[in-house]
Chains A and B, each alone.
Chain A
Amino acid sequence: MLRRFVAATAFGSAIALLLVSTLTAQSNYKVPRLADGHPDFQGFWNNTTYTPLERPKGIDREFFTREEVIEQMKRAAAEESEQTTPGTVADVHYDFTQFGLDRSQAPVALNLRTSLIIDPVDGHFPPMTEEGKRLNAARAEARKRAGPITDAAQNQPLSVRCILMDRDGPPMLAGAYNNNYQIVQSPGTVLILVEMLHSPRVIPLDTRPQLPQQVRQLEGSSRGRWDGDTLVIETTNFTDMFMFAAQGASADMKLTERFTRTADDTLTYRFTVDDPKVWTRPWTAEVPWKKSVGPIFEHACHEGNYSLANLLAGAREDEKRAKAKK
């Protein structure tokens, strides 16, 4: 109860201050630079968002008004700070507010867009190709053939197995929590440390070619370069295991990520997915990243993955009991 009150109060004052801060917005922002003249993106960033990847049904606009967005965020914050019902799955899993994991407790960049997808302008994935539909259907069929997710660890999504969070990719999209990133720049190298799964993306900035085609990686092969003040990272050599929500990309996906520092506290992240096997045309999404505070603590997901073992053990126990009943 107290928590909810505090959340509401904090949110209320945030909104009041929002209105003040708009009057003093930095209009002559100068990008900080490293010794070599390139922009300095170093520090901690957070890409938590209330904006869905695809535009929600019934919305035919590209932007909400500021009031609408604030209202939506307020509503979502209130919902997320609701106590869970004791004994329910939600309660056993996580009370996000209690553990500081709900979105209102993260730095969130205000985004007036109705979807993260900005191209196509309707905010939706472009139509899938026939081959893309076949690939996705074959994947769904393979999952079905493998049996229920409680049959074996390998039947679970990659995220439950701590192997790869679909949202953390690359491309890097926010989930419910652990949306922090640390960027470190040394000559010739950019490191993006992703808090979720504690994944390090080490990106060379020289002219070396991508990895040989035979080398396939869950996070692909990334090469970076500067386009003016924008850091561009191109990634290929993916596996065929990456999913955007329900839509799976192919191993031939080419990803182009663009980072531009647009305000002292904002890094604008834009990515384009070019995967002609699956989508009839490339598509692009944009997410503002908000300056955050470090440090990032180790997220040892696999090492502490008791839930996967318990989940399988529970299913086996259920089967044993069902058998005994017969």
Chain B
Amino acid sequence: MRAWLGRASIAAVGVIAGLALSFTAASQARAPQAGAPQPQTSGARTARAADGKPNLNGVYQAISEAYWDIEPHGAAAGPVQELGASYAMAGGLGIVDGPLPYKPDALAKKKQNFANRVKLDPEVKCYLPGVPRAMYMQYPFQIIQTPTYIMMVFTYARAVRTIYMTDHKEAPADSWMGWSNGHWEGNTLVVDTTGFNDMTWFDRAGNFHSDQLHVVERITASGADHLSYEATIEDPQTFTRPWKITLPIYRRVEKNAQLLEFNCIPFVEDLIYGHLRKPSSN
């Protein structure tokens, strides 16, 4: 009831403001102000943003085999036989600080996840990737930085993270990408993310978490074209202790680097809904 009244009053304010507008809009057709605006440049390469913080703006991508498995692993056949070597698993040294400290039940579930990964991996269904998985998938992502919001836009599934730099709140509800509050510690962006659901994974190997997941990321520009990325993973329901992910993330240095649309839903509709198709349909 209280919440509803709040909404109603927002609506009222909106309507009021709207009327005020109709009387001002006509007089506001503005000529450009002489001399004020600077020529617009793609100023992503300066080391500092206008507020003096490190400038993280740009298009980035991890170069790592961790999207297959965040733990050390040798090369192996991929899960789909028909795709042969073109979709085989590349070996990787892992990005974690030791064997993942699963609780016994959770370890059993991880193994089941791996065995059934073609059916269960949320990536297969074009579902939002969650955090930290989004950060080291094999697609570029873009950071758009301001003093109040740092936005991360991901190619895969067009996922978005909003990092609230000033207006820190608790997650209002669980979500796929979580609720991120950020702050600067010197030159390091620290992002504290909670409010996850239990439906995302860490990789294609079935490593998973519960909705108790808490991720603290530390992101530092360690050179003009790369970020040092570190994430501490805490999930007392799944793991016996916190553990860490560490990897470099690289800038896409091409002049025309930009995210392309990867709207993957049409790619998975037969997979998800094919069994419900009318057998005789076109």
Interface residues of A (CB under 8 A from B): 2-3, 6-7, 9-11, 13-15, 17-19, 21-22, 24-27, 29, 31, 33, 35-38, 42, 46, 66, 73, 100, 104-112, 145-147, 150-155, 161-164, 182, 184-189, 191, 193, 198-200, 202, 204-206, 208, 211, 215, 217-219, 225-229, 260, 262-263, 265-266, 268, 288, 290-293, 295-298, 300, 302-303, 308-309, 312-313, 315-316, 319
Contact = CB atoms under 8 A, between A and B. Distances in A.
A202 B259 contact: yes
Contacts of A46: 14
28 contacts: A3-B4, A17-B12, A18-B19, A21-B16, A31-B30, A36-B40, A37-B37, A38-B38, A42-B146, A106-B11, A107-B11, A108-B18, A110-B22, A153-B273, A155-B281, A161-B266, A202-B258, A202-B259, A206-B40, A226-B37, A228-B30, A229-B30, A262-B24, A262-B28, A266-B25, A290-B14, A300-B128, A316-B278
Nearest to B145: A186
Interface string B249-282: 0000001101111010110011011001110011
A263 B277 CA distance: 51
B43 A265 contact: no
Interface stretch (B68-76, B95-103, B170-178, B211-219): B170-178
A193 B151 contact: yes
Given A105-B10, A303-B128, A297 B261 contact: no
A268 B9 CA distance: 23
A200 to B, nearest CB: 4
Nearest to A112: B22
Q: Which of B19, B36, B44 has most A Cβ within 10 Å?
A: B19
Contacts of A38: 37-38, 40
B23 A184 contact: no
Interface in B142-177: 142, 144-146, 148-149, 151, 153, 158-160, 162, 164, 167, 169, 172-173, 175-177
Contact of A15 (B9, B15, B50): B15
A145 B12 CA distance: 48
A72 B280 CA distance: 48
Given A104-B11, A200-B160, A297-B172, 11 more contacts: A35-B50, A105-B8, A108-B18, A110-B21, A187-B41, A200-B158, A228-B32, A266-B21, A288-B21, A300-B127, A312-B273
Contact of B160 (A26, A193, A293): A193
A13 B12 contact: yes
A229 B176 contact: no
A105 B14 CA distance: 9
Contacts of A110: 15, 18-19, 21-22
A265 B146 contact: no
B153 A202 contact: yes
A10 B146 contact: no
Interface in B104-141: 126-128
B80 interface: no
Contact of B17 (A151, A154, A291): A291
A252 to B, nearest CB: 18
A199 B276 CA distance: 28
A318 to B, nearest CB: 11
A184 B149 contact: yes
B31 interface: yes
Contacts of B169: 295
Given A35-B50, A105-B7, A187-B41, A147 B282 contact: yes
